[in-house]
Structure 1
Amino acid sequence: MMHAPQIKVPATYMRGGTSKGVFFRLQDLPEACQVPGEARDKLLMRVIGSPDPYEKQIDGLGNATSSTSKTVILAESTQPDHDVDYLFGQVAIDRPFVDWSGNCGNLTAAVGAFAINSGFVAKEHIPDNGICTVRIWQANIRKTIVAHIPITNGEVQETGDFELDGVTFPAAEVQIEFMDPADGEGAMFPTGNLVDELEVPGVGTLQATMINAGIPTIFVNAEDIGYKGTELQNDINSDPKALAMFETIRAHGAVRMGLIKDVSEAANRQHTPKVAFVAKPVDYVSSSGKQINAADIDVLVRALSMGKLHHAMMGTAAVAIATASAVPGTLVNLAAGGGERNHVTFGHPSGTLRVGAEAKAVDGEWTATKAIMSRSARIIMEGWVRVPGDCF
C-alpha cells in the first residue's frame, strides 16, 4: 500500500510570555491551507499532534498543555497603518478542533519579533539600535496591538535580564500595548452590569463579573466556590469534579454574555470565555517554591484555560484582570481593595504580574482605552516542520 510522503512547511517554534507556539507566514502554507477551513485546521492539528486520545501530543510539537498547543499565522496587513496581521489558533489536545474565537496575549509578545524577522516590517522602520514599534492587527478579535521590540545592531534582541514568573530563564523585555482591548464589537460588560447573579445548576447562584477585555472572562469569588485563591495547578487539575464545575460555570456564563445561545455550544468554543476566581491577598508559595507575600500583590487570581488551571496567567486574561480592576465595583476591583486604580499586581500560581490599564465611563457605559504589560519572547527553533502530505 502506497502512502503519501511527508512534506516540509517553513515554520518557527517560539516562546512568547508563558506560552509556546508554532509560527507560520501565510504565504509559506500549502495553497489549500492559505484560506480558513478544514484543510488549514487539519494541517495545524497534525503539526501540533492532535487529536491525541493519550493527551500527550507525542507525534507533534505540542506539549500537552493549553499553553503549548498553539499556532500563529502572520500575513501582510490588510489594515492601513499596521505592519502585520496576526491570526491565532488554539489547538485542542484530545479533540479534532482548532478554536479561532480569541487571541493569545502571551504569544503576542513573539509576534513583533517574528514580523521583523520575516520581512513584514519595513526596513526603514527598524533602528540600528533602540526600540522598533510594531503595529499588529489582531485578526481574531479585530483589535490593534502595539509591540515595542528591542533592537541591537539591526537585529531583534532576545537575550536580557528581564524575569517573568512562569518562565525559567531571563530574556529581553517586550512591552505590549493592547489598544481599545474590549473584545469584539459588544459592550465591555455585555450584561450591562459590573456584577451579576449567575445561576449555575449544581453549583448555586454566584456573584460574577463578566467582561470583554483582552478576552471574554468570567470572574467569581474564590470563597463562593470553596477556594482560597492560593491554589496551584494540581489542586484543581487533579480534581475531575472541580474541572466539571468550572466548565459548567463557563458554559452558563457564556450564555449570559451572549457568546453562545445554549450551554451545549460551549464544548465547541473552548478558548473563550475564560473563567477565573479572585480573592484578597494572602501569603502563599508559588509552584516554583518562591514565597509570595500579601504585601507585594493587590489581588489573587487563578484562571482556567482549555478546561485546566493555567500554570501562570494567560496574557489576554491579564488584560481582563487589569481592566476589571480599574472599574470600581467589579469583583476584581473589590478583591483588590476597591477604589480607582490604573494598574494592578496580581498573584498567580507561578508568581506575580503587574499590568496597567485605563478605563473610563462614557455616557454611563464603561470602556477600556489601553492595557499595558511586559513579557518576553525568543525563537526556540526555526526551519521546517514535516507532516504527512495527505494529512490535510
Structure 2
Amino acid sequence: MWVLPAHAARRLGAVVLHHSRMNFATTAVPNPLPATFLRGGTSKGIFLDKSTLPADQAEWGPIFRGIMGSPDAEYGRQLNGMGGGVSSLSKIMVVSTPTPERKAQGIDVEYTFVQVGIRDSGIDYSGNCGNLTSMIGVYALDEGMCHRPLGSSSATIRCFNTNTQKIIDTTFPISDTGTPILDLPQAAVAGVPGKASKIVLDFVNPGGARTGKLLPTGQPVDQLKLPFSPTGSVRASLVDATNPTVFVDYTELHKFLPMDDYFNGKPAAIQAVSPVLEDIRQQGAIKMNLDPTAQAQPKIAILSSPHTESDAAEKVNIVIHALSMGVLHKAVPMTAGLCLGVAARIEGSIAWDIMRKSSGSLGGDTDLVKIRHPGGLVDVGAEFGDGGEVKSAKVVRTGRRLMKGGVWY
C-alpha cells in the first residue's frame, strides 16, 4: 500500500484545514459571538448585532440557550452561561440598523427582545423589556449603528421594538464627541446601588402593544372564574400598554390565600399561591386573545393600597407585586410598571379604584404615579389624548456598561 510521505501529509492537512476554516467563516455563525453585556434598570442582558446571527430567526434558539446556559432543569442557576438564574438576568437584545422604510419614518435603530427560559428551553419573543430598552440607544451609538449631531449635551434615539411594533424614545447625556455618558450622579433606581446618568424612556402610543387595544375586552374590569374563591370568581383588569398585564386586587386574594406569607417567600405559601396566580394569568391571556402557555406575556401583578407609615411619608399612590415567568419579581418589570401607570388613569380599573381611595397620598404632580414595589419606589407617567388614547408612557432608568467582547454558545 502506498503511503503519503509525512511532510506531504502535513502540507495536505494544512490545506484542508485552511479551506475548512474558510468555509466555516463564510457559512457558519462565529463562536464566540461579538457581544456586549449591559445593565439597564434592574435587568442585565447580552446585546448582539443582528448581522452576526443567522438570517433565519428559527435558528437563533440554540445559540441563545447556549449563551445563557439553558436549560438548567436540575439547578436553575445557568452556571454554564451568562444567565443568573432569574428572569431579569436571562435576557438578550438583538439590535440592528433600521430598514429603509423605518429609517424614512425617523427610526434610528430597531431591536428584538428575547426572554430565555431558565429551567426549560423556552425562547420567548412575545413581549418587550422596558429595563433593557433603556440601553438600546446607548448600544446603538457605541456600535456606530446611528449618529447624533455633535455639540449637544444629550441625545434622543428613536427605537423600534419588533416584538410589540412600538416606538420608544430614549434620551440620555452625551459627551462633546457624541459618546453616551452613564456615570453622572443624576438619578437612582430602586434595587440598584448608587446614582448614575438619567435615561428617560418614552413609550410612544403604547396602548395595544400586543392585542391592538388598550382594554382588550373593552372593559376596565373582568370576572375570571376561580371556583374555590368565596365568590367563585376574581376581578381582574386586563390592560395592554407597553406590555399586556393582568392586574388583580390583593384584598380580594387575601380572603382565601396566604398572600402575606407568599410575599415573604415562605415555601408553603408559594406552593399554594403560585398555581392560582398562574391560573388567573392564563384565563386573562385567553380573554386577551393571547397564548396562555407563553409565560412571558401577559404579566400578572397584585395591587394594593398604600398602608405603611413609609408609604404615607413618601406619598406612595399604589403598591405592586409583579411576577415574571411565574416567579415573584424582586422589583417590578418596567413594562408592567408603565402599564400600571396607564391603568391607574383608566376609570373603573382596579388600579384607578385603589388610587381614588388613597387619593390623600397623591403628590403635587398628578401626572406621575408613585409606585412601591419590593425593591423600592418608582415614578411612572402617562399622557392621554382627548379621545382617551394613551399618547405616551414615561419612566426614568439608569444603566451601565459591564463588558464587551465575545460570548461562547
Give the alignment partner of residue 139 of structure 2, picking from 114, 120, 144.
Answer: 114
Query: Counterparts of 1:68 and 1:336 in 2: how far apart (Å)?
Result: 32
Identity of matched residues, %: 30
Please give the secondary structure, in 2, of the residue aligned with 1:337. helix
Aligned partners of 1:91 and 1:98 also within 8 Å: yes
Normalised by the size of structure 2, how large is the TM-score?
A: 0.84
Aligned to 2:278: 247
The reply on whether 1:67 has 2:91 as its aligned counterpart is no
- Which has the larger helix fraction? 2
Give the alignment partner of residue 7 of structure 1, picking from 31, 49, 62.
Answer: 31
Give the alignment partner of residue 105 of structure 1, picking from 130, 140, 155.
Answer: 130
Query: Counterparts of 1:159 and 1:236 in 2: how far apart (Å)?
Result: 40
Aligned partners of 1:229 and 1:279 also within 8 Å: no
**Which amino acid counterpart does residue 47 of structure 1 have in structure 2?**
I
Unaligned runs of 5+ in 2: 1-23, 25-29
Aligned partners of 1:228 and 1:279 also within 8 Å: no
Query: Counterparts of 1:372 and 1:344 in 2: how far apart (Å)?
Result: 11
Normalised by the size of structure 1, how large is the TM-score?
A: 0.87
Query: Counterparts of 2:183 and 2:326 in 1: how far apart (Å)?
Result: 33
* Deviation string, structure 1 residues 51-97 (Cα, Å, up to 9, x no partner): 11110100000000010000000011121310111100000101111
The reply on whether 1:180 has 2:205 as its aligned counterpart is yes
Spell out the pairing of 1:1-392 with structure 2 (5 A cutoff): 7-29=31-53, 33-37=54-58, 39-53=59-73, 54-78=75-99, 79=102, 80-122=105-147, 125-154=148-177, 155-161=179-185, 162-182=187-207, 183-203=209-229, 204-226=232-254, 232=263, 234-235=265-266, 239-260=270-291, 266-267=292-293, 269-283=294-308, 292-293=311-312, 295-337=314-356, 341-360=366-385, 362=387, 366-387=388-409
The verdict on how the C-alpha distance between 1:233 and 1:17 changes in structure 2, with shifts beyond 3 A counting, is farther
Q: Which is further off, 230-239 or 20-29?
A: 230-239
- Higher-Rg member (1/2): 2
Please give the secondary structure, in 1, of the residue aligned with 2:279. helix
Query: Counterparts of 1:237 and 1:126 in 2: how far apart (Å)?
Result: 57
The verdict on how the C-alpha distance between 1:220 and 1:107 changes in structure 2, with shifts beyond 3 A counting, is same
Query: Counterparts of 1:64 and 1:337 in 2: how far apart (Å)?
Result: 38
* Deviation string, structure 1 residues 234-273 (Cα, Å, up to 9, x no partner): 258971221111111111111111113xxxxx33x11100
Unaligned runs of 5+ in 1: 261-265, 285-290, 388-392
Aligned partners of 2:261 and 2:269 also within 8 Å: no
The verdict on how the C-alpha distance between 1:300 and 1:34 changes in structure 2, with shifts beyond 3 A counting, is same
**Which amino acid counterpart does residue 14 of structure 1 have in structure 2?**
L
* Deviation string, structure 1 residues 131-167 (Cα, Å, up to 9, x no partner): 1110000110000000002102321101122211011
RMSD, aligned α-carbons: 2.3
Please give the secondary structure, in 2, of the residue aligned with 1:168. coil
The verdict on how the C-alpha distance between 1:324 and 1:15 changes in structure 2, with shifts beyond 3 A counting, is same
Query: Following TM superposition, by how much is the alpha carbon of 1:381 offset from its aligned partner in structure 2, in angstroms?
Result: 0.6
Higher relative contact order (CA 8 A, sep 6+): 1
Aligned partners of 1:103 and 1:316 also within 8 Å: yes
The verdict on how the C-alpha distance between 1:303 and 1:58 changes in structure 2, with shifts beyond 3 A counting, is same
The verdict on how the C-alpha distance between 1:304 and 1:76 changes in structure 2, with shifts beyond 3 A counting, is same
Query: Counterparts of 2:171 and 2:150 in 1: how far apart (Å)?
Result: 12
Aligned partners of 1:145 and 1:179 also within 8 Å: yes
Aligned partners of 1:327 and 1:359 also within 8 Å: no
